[in-house]
Amino acid sequence: MKIHTSLSAILSVLVIIAAFFWSGSAFSAATTPGKLAVINMQKVVRNSATGQKAMDRINKKWEKLQAQLKAKQDKIRAFKEDVEKKAPLMSAEAKAEKERELKKMLRDYQEAQDDAQFEMRQAEAKSMEPILKELEEVVMEIGKKNGYSLILEKNMPGIYYFAPEADITQRIINAYDRKK
């Protein structure tokens, strides 16, 4: 009976030890990260065919707005030069009036410049929103297909190092271009 009790005790201890090791290995497998990857979303947008088309449209819009702003700037410069030439012949009241006109033109120019910047931010957001949604789908598809546990934006704070082979930016660009 004593041998049976000793065997039972030893067997119980072995079962507990085995369970401990088994649960430890299961725990470590659950917490061990799988494959990780990084991407540079700005580069994806800049180098993908769809992103380049969107950037071309945005740049053309910016050039058009810049031309309008330059025309206003040239008008202000010409007005100022004209006033400076005629100033010796003007009365104090006429000079003050021209100064008010110039200040109004400068305020209008500043407002036009602010409007142009706002318009550009909106145009960029409108152009990029559908592209970023499509890219999110491509990234998720590649992540699932290739068994990645996590794909991070490489330019985000907190990412200090990654192995070059972890950068899948070009793979994302190629997949996105094929999808289009």
Render pLDDT for 72-108 as a digit per residue (tens, 0 to 9). Answer: 999 999 999 999 999 899 999 999 999 999 999 999 9
Q: Check: CB of residue 45 under 8 Å from CB of residue 51.
A: yes
57 and 118 belong to one structural domain: yes
26 and 92 belong to one structural domain: no
38 three-class SS:
strand
147 three-class SS:
coil
Percent helix, strand and coil across the chain, each to the nearest 5: 80, 5, 10
57 and 26 belong to one structural domain: no
**Angle formed by the axes of helices 169-179 and 92-145, to 10°?**
90
pLDDT at position 161, please? 81
pLDDT at position 29, please? 45
19 and 41 belong to one structural domain: no
Provide the whole-model pTM: 0.65
What is the Rg, in whole angstroms, of the alpha carbon atoms belonging to the chain? Answer: 34
Positions in the chain whose pLDDT score sits under 50: 1-7, 9, 11-15, 17-31
135 and 164 belong to one structural domain: yes
The residue range of the domain holding 12 is 1-32
66 and 89 belong to one structural domain: yes
Q: Check: CB of residue 34 under 8 Å from CB of residue 43.
A: no
* Distances, alpha carbon 58 to alpha carbons 64, 68, 116, 133, 146, in Å: 10, 16, 12, 18, 34
**Chain position carrying tokens 């990780």:** 36
137 and 88 belong to one structural domain: yes
98 and 174 belong to one structural domain: yes
57 and 41 belong to one structural domain: yes
Q: Name every residue whose Cβ is closer than 8 Å to that of residue 42 and which is 6 or more positions away in sequence.
A: 155
The residue length of the chain stands at 180
3 and 78 belong to one structural domain: no
Count how many domains the chain has. 2
How many CA atoms, within 13 angstroms, populate the side-chain half-sphere of residue 172?
30
Identify which of 72, 144, 74 has the alpha carbon closest to the alpha carbon of residue 115: 72
pLDDT at position 28, please? 46
